[in-house]
Amino acid sequence: MGRERVDVVVIGSGAGGAPAALSLARAGARVVVLEKGPFYGIGDFDHDEIRVCRRDFWVPWAEDEPHTVRSAAAQLARPSREGWTSACVGGATVHMSGFFYRLHDCDFSLRRVLGEVPGATLADWPITLDELLPYYDVMESELGVSGDGASNPLERRSRPYPLPPLAAHPASRLVDEAAARRGWHAFATPRAVLSAAYGARPPCNLCAFCGDYGCENASKSSTLASLLPAALATERCVIRSGCMALRLEADAQDRVRAVEYEDAAGVRRVIEARVVVLAASAVESARLLLLSQSGRHPQGLGNANGLVGKHLSFSTFGKVSAVFERSALSAALGVSRGELGHRGFLQRSIQDDYWSPSLGALGKGGTYNFMVAHPNVINAATKVASTTGAGMWGAPLLGQIRAYHEAQTWLEAEIFSEYFPHDGCYVDLDPRVRDRFGLAVARITASVHPLSASVNATMVQRLRDFFGSFEPAPISLWTMAQSGTTMHLQHGTCRFGTNAEDTVLDPSCRMHGIEGLYVLDGSFMPSSGGVPATATIIANSFRVSELLAARMRRGELN
């Protein structure tokens, strides 16, 4: 088994790994990034819904590399593709929609503010929003984020977004007017999508195929389009695609020393390093740590307290669709019917229910994100067929699909709300199921805390009421999801904190008791927040990488 030595190995090239690779390469370190998936170029991206969304373009087949999923410990977990975020260079940022909200102050102190919540395992963050704010700025500048900070009085920031907001669909007026009547604050959704040229990258062409697709225009600010090219340009960073990390090695002094991996040709290799940055996703990072057993670490690396994989959280999900007759909408808005199709972005969000007494005793809610329905044809057919409650096929289905694309405008809103961590939501190793590498797969036990489900259900009803207040009113409203789980938004399997007895990482995201090992995906987060976590993961990775680079310059890591 061949061995080599570098300064830093980064496992994963998405939101957590790419900022570290760039920052440490700029600081002079020799960096190797191991990515288990392929290295796509913009020529690989198109709008083929079957090839891209319904096969193994982004995540592995369940037959090859499953997770297993169950809702309670007493159940037998079933093989599934759920819980994979992505497997390609750039990670899930390549096919994200790019909603880049910041956390709020309340997200950092839920345990202090709410006290003991029955059945929940809340914990406060060991850092404050003030400590993270400068790195949100760095993240937005490095990637290229568009938005209008002045339009959201509930977000804390000290300077404008690097780019103005993307152009909004004409129907955004409906959200603005209804929000004003209710006393809410509709604001331009911040996006990791370019509204104007940024460096060598062109502005978005408003095709609306962001979510679930790669950007053939390089206008989406994925790490593939932004941070990783900059890392490669330092000539100190190498990206190795098709490389599966198998286990981490630590020496007798509990210093991480090497990563064993299988390369794209199926050859087992070992790469030694002074520092290992683990950023494979909250589920897969916990799995790799649990697989890295040894005589000194029989429960897995860094798992002496049994907390690796615990306190897993996702995002509690709700979704409502409002259907408008396009001619009536055209007359009300004074625009042509052609301008009211499913191209472009609605570009509106509301956070007045991020913390609100209207949500019940706890009050912790989240974000309403408004969109024009996705133009996917198969997805649209599935959606309209489901609205009858009994299915639809043949001529009626074809007629409804035609109406969806030609006579109607579907506006949608997703809800991202707090997912309280609890003892019934965690990752461990499945004792029965192995992947194609012969390794035990991640077993995900996932259920929604009753209070999280209740708040999400309340937000869904408030969203239905809000849509119902639009002028003109929708011709129909459909609750597409309520109190669900968004499993690609993952947090918490390696919580950070000051106490090594009840957390896995210290405030710099270094593993307690293991020198040189940092975990920089969403694993570190004690709580989910009421927004998608991608922007926060990237900002925190820049924060930690600055601390790590300083340690390396001082000669503290050898």
Q: What is the dihedral of CA 128, 165, 484, 432, to 10 degrees?
A: -70
Which residues have a Cβ under 8 Å from the Cβ of 4 and sit 6 or more positions away? 269, 270, 271, 272
| pLDDT one-digit tens code per residue, 236-259 | 999 999 999 999 999 999 999 999
| pLDDT one-digit tens code per residue, 360-372 | 878 999 999 999 9
- Confidence class for position 528, pLDDT limits 50, 70, 90: very high
Question: What is the mean predicted confidence (pLDDT) over 162-167?
Answer: 98
For the cut 70, the answer to whether the pLDDT of residue 167 exceeds it is: yes
Give the side-chain half-sphere CA count within 13 A for 75. Answer: 14
pLDDT, mean over the chain: 96
Q: In what order do the strands lie in the sheet with 186-187?
A: 186-187, 348-350, 366-372, 408-417, 313-325, 476-491
| pLDDT one-digit tens code per residue, 395-404 | 988 898 899 9
pLDDT given at position 386 = 84
- Confidence class for position 2, pLDDT limits 50, 70, 90: low
Determine the length of the chain.
Answer: 558
For the cut 80, the answer to whether the pLDDT of residue 388 exceeds it is: no
pLDDT given at position 557 = 86
- Which residue in 100, 95, 104 sits closest to 142, CA to CA? 100
What share of the chain in percent tops pLDDT 70?
A: 100
| pLDDT one-digit tens code per residue, 416-437 | 999 999 999 999 999 999 999 9
Strand partners, 479: 320
Coil, helix or strand at residue 293:
coil
Q: Is the pTM of this model over 0.95?
A: yes
Question: What is the mean predicted confidence (pLDDT) over 55-69?
Answer: 97
- Confidence class for position 1, pLDDT limits 50, 70, 90: low
224: tokens are: 């593939």
Among the residue ranges 45-59, 99-113, 380-394, the one predicted with the least confidence is 380-394
Coil, helix or strand at residue 3:
strand
Q: What is the dihedral of CA 225, 231, 233, 234, to 10 degrees?
A: 170
| AA identity, residue 151 | S
CA dist., res. 239 & res. 186, Å (int): 41
| pLDDT one-digit tens code per residue, 297-316 | 999 999 999 999 999 999 99
- Which residue in 299, 287, 310, 303 sits closest to 445, CA to CA? 310
Burial 531-542 (b: 16+ CB within 10 A, else e): bbbbbbbbbbbb
Question: What is the mean predicted confidence (pLDDT) over 169-177?
Answer: 98
Contact 277, 521 (CB under 8 A): no
The burial of 490, by beta-carbon neighbours within 10 Å (0-12 exposed, 13-18 middle, 19 or more buried), is given as buried
CA dist., res. 409 & res. 481, Å (int): 19
Q: In what order do the strands lie in the sheet with 440-445?
A: 78-80, 67-70, 440-445, 426-434
Place of tokens 């820049």: 542
| pLDDT one-digit tens code per residue, 261-273 | 999 999 999 999 9
